Structure 1
């Protein structure tokens, strides 16, 4: 038997400054729980039933609350990776359940962590969760989660993260792709953002990484459904590769 409820309770407790402080928990215990979850979800193709149990028991929400309310530097790699592995699934029902936990605000906080692995888990989790909404739409419909991310200034934060000098290439690429997906069939109103995001996406359509290559092309196709975006994409006679 997996002690889902006990794990949830332990992840919900504050970290005790004094060992044995009432109602608090040792950080090492939380890290052990997260390492257990990381291992559980390592095989991405399996364990969707465990993912559902993880959400139903409140564990996923406990991690979201942590990302939203803790000082960002107190968050450890194991916390962010446990949540990220939870989001790596093609099961739209699970991804949509994760979206109902309002995770974007906390995940955006991870982009401000000094640890690049935690930043990576944050941006990957945002991408994976938005995918659950995107997959529920037709080819020409706008993104159903756009308002949820835009209303908390999330697009601007992802764009700022993409432009940082110390953001690594993979994270920059994922950030540009996310913005492209969120602006599916919708004009990027901020002209500077439109120019820079499209420029970045065009620069990675033939990337050595297959996922980056495929996702950047898809992002450009989504953006091109809006005429203003399309005109920017087609500058210099650029054609989106198929």
Structure 2
């Protein structure tokens, strides 16, 4: 009897262990299934998100290609048809201006450059009558230059924009002149930032070839432009003549006198920019002699 009880207890214990083992295996199988489901779900989400990103990128690229095609349209046909083309082009420019206003998006700007919008704008600036080049065109170009990294702006420089921007400096609309001189300045800054601080500016010859230096100096001398554009024009001259003598004596005297005069003002940002401009010019001995007349010493910028 006792032996039977012990045998029953042993059998029950074995059954209990088997049940426990089966339960553990079931739990392991369930965990494995849950893990597989989780991985499948994550992969599905990842694929979905990747597809969404691709769709978004493709949509943006298609839109940019379409805009480039619209901007490439020549003004032909009846006067009404030409006006319709002009309006459509201006509207497309405004859309991109709104999209990139103050927005750091190097990838988006690179797409604008690579998909032909910049080249279309440059062609408009070079070929169209100035009175038909309106503010949306010049403002969009400006928005492409800022806020942008130096690398993006150098991609823009590779499209040879200076001749077209220099042409805009002769525009009757001061706002377009402002856009052009600031765009020129932004491209010059990228050229400066990506070369040794003591070296000649790499864009000097390119701008000289389209009479850009004289055109920028004319902007500086104009009485009908704003103080901001006048200062930007002077800074452009300082970029171009970094470590290089300003050979035009009138230009040398007026630009240097103007920059020295800004230093006496209370606006700290303007003062520091003028100091840096003078330091660029002072890398050349002849410029430095003009700067140091009457005992003037360039102060340190903050």
Q: Distance in 2 between matches of 1:145 and 1:78?
A: 27
8 Å contact from structure 1 (residues 5, 57) kept in 2:
yes
Q: Which has the larger radius of gyration?
A: 2
Instruction: After superposing the two structures, state which structure 1 stretch, 75-84 or 109-118, moved more.
Output: 109-118
Instruction: Return closer, same or farther for 1:206/1:66 CA change in 2, 3 Å cut-off.
Output: farther
8 Å contact from structure 1 (residues 55, 61) kept in 2:
yes
- Name the structure where helix makes up a greater proportion of residues: 2
Aligned residue among 71, 81, 88 for 1:29: 88
Q: After superposition, give the CA deviation of every residue in 1:157-181 in whole Å (9 maximum; x if it has no partner).
A: 1001111121221111100110011
Aligned residue among 152, 175, 178 for 1:120: 178
Q: Distance in 2 between matches of 1:205 and 1:146?
A: 26
TM-superposed deviation, 1:132:
1.5
8 Å contact from structure 1 (residues 159, 193) kept in 2:
yes
RMSD over aligned Cα, in angstroms? 1.7
8 Å contact from structure 1 (residues 15, 25) kept in 2:
no
- 1:43-54 to 2 correspondence within 5 Å? 43-44=102-103, 46-54=104-112
- 1:1-242 to 2 correspondence within 5 Å? 1-2=59-60, 3-18=63-78, 19-20=80-81, 26-44=85-103, 46-207=104-265, 209-242=267-300
Instruction: Return closer, same or farther for 1:209/1:64 CA change in 2, 3 Å cut-off.
Output: farther
Structure 2 gap segments, 5+ residues each: 1-58
8 Å contact from structure 1 (residues 108, 157) kept in 2:
yes
Q: Distance in 1 between matches of 2:276 and 2:139?
A: 26
Give the structure, 1 or 2, with the largest relative contact order (CA under 8 Å, sep 6 or more).
Answer: 1
Give aligned pairs, total.
239
Q: Distance in 2 between matches of 1:33 and 1:152?
A: 29
TM-superposed deviation, 1:209:
4.8
Q: Distance in 2 between matches of 1:213 and 1:61?
A: 36
SS in 1 for 2:237: helix
Q: What TM-score does the superposition give when structure 1 sets the normalisation length?
A: 0.93
Instruction: Return closer, same or farther for 1:207/1:62 CA change in 2, 3 Å cut-off.
Output: farther
SS in 2 for 1:26: helix
